[in-house]
A and B are shown apart, each in its own frame.
Chain A
Amino acid sequence: TQLLEQSPQFLSIQEGENLTVYCNSSSVFSSLQWYRQEPGEGPVLLVTVVTGGEVKKLKRLTFQFGDARKDSSLHITAAQPGDTGLYLCSGTDSWGKLQFGAGTQVVVTP
């Protein structure tokens, strides 16, 4: 059972559209990370959020950590083909174990 549930599993959009992916859990996390992975490569860290309610912006990407530190979202504005990839979230639960979600596959077509 995935402790971190990511949704949707797959998202296909046109260039210029906006998208949001979610990472949810019933557990509290001390911090949460978002990664993007391209085919055949390792995940690349995008951001770490640590404070409930925290919002971080990285150019066109906006990351939010829920107030209760159980969920997070990643919003991409005006998506570009270079945003295509598998988006993974990870977090450490109260037992000290690092958990990964199954990922959201995002495809942005020109």
Chain B
Amino acid sequence: KAGVTQTPRYLIKTRGQQVTLSCSPISGHRSVSWYQQTPGQGLQFLFEYFSETQRNKGNFPGRFSGRQFSNSRSEMNVSTLELGDSALYLCASQSRTSGYTDTQYFGPGTRLTVL
């Protein structure tokens, strides 16, 4: 099976702009979670989507939003970028079909730099 893919791998934006990141989960996985990772804060949970519905949400401002499509692909959008949004954004997919599995499989991440 192909792994989780994220595009683009690198992005440079300026303050005030918006950005959209994309994630394709492992085939057959219906859950996609997004995380922000910074050296100071570690892995911070943004939100989880399952079958096109947001199931869980972390403590991030409304500038951070996401959606999931019928093919389980997901996008994350950040509007009005701030310098502090510079981070590695990780997407993770889970099966969540037969019973409950805690294991998440991560993509390589998108490195966002805000200037």
By a beta-carbon cutoff of 8 Å, the part of chain A in contact with chain B is 30-31, 33, 35, 40-45, 48, 88, 90-92, 97-98, 100-103
Q: A40-B109, A42-B107 are in contact. Are A102 and B42 (CB under 8 A)?
A: yes
Binds A, one of B12-20, B60-68, B71-79, B97-105: B97-105
Q: Does B47 count as interface, using CB distance less than 8 angstroms? A: no
- In the assembly, what is the distance between CA of A30 and CA of B99, in Å? 13
| Pair B102/A42 contact, Cβ less than 8 Å | no
Q: A42-B90, A43-B90, A88-B43 are in contact. Are A98 and B102 (CB under 8 A)?
A: yes
Q: Does B50 count as interface, using CB distance less than 8 angstroms? A: no
State which of A33, A40, A88 has its C-beta within 8 Å of the C-beta of B102: A33
- In the assembly, what is the distance between CA of A42 and CA of B111, in Å? 11
- In the assembly, what is the distance between CA of A61 and CA of B92, in Å? 24
Distance (Å) between the CB of A20 and the closest chain B CB? 21
| Pair B103/A40 contact, Cβ less than 8 Å | no
Question: At the interface, is chain B mostly helix, strand, loop or mixed?
Answer: strand
Which of the four size classes fits the interface of chain B?
Answer: 20 to 34
> CB-CB < 8 A to B45: which residues of A?
98, 100
Contact with A along B42-59 (1 / 0, CB 8 A): 110100000000001000
Q: Can you give 9 A-B contacts (C-beta < 8 A)?
A: A30-B100, A40-B111, A42-B4, A42-B6, A45-B103, A45-B105, A90-B104, A102-B42, A103-B42
| Pair A42/B108 contact, Cβ less than 8 Å | yes
> CB-CB < 8 A to B105: which residues of A?
45
Q: A43-B90, A98-B45 are in contact. Are A48 and B109 (CB under 8 A)?
A: no
State which of B6, B56, B100, B106 has its C-beta within 8 Å of the C-beta of A43: B106
**CB-nearest residue of chain A to B111:** A40
Distance (Å) between the CB of A19 and the closest chain B CB? 20
Distance (Å) between the CB of B43 and the closest chain A CB? 5
Given contacts A43-B106, A88-B43, 16 further A-B contacts (CB under 8 A): A33-B104, A35-B106, A40-B111, A41-B108, A42-B4, A42-B6, A42-B106, A42-B109, A43-B90, A44-B106, A48-B102, A92-B102, A97-B56, A98-B33, A100-B45, A103-B43
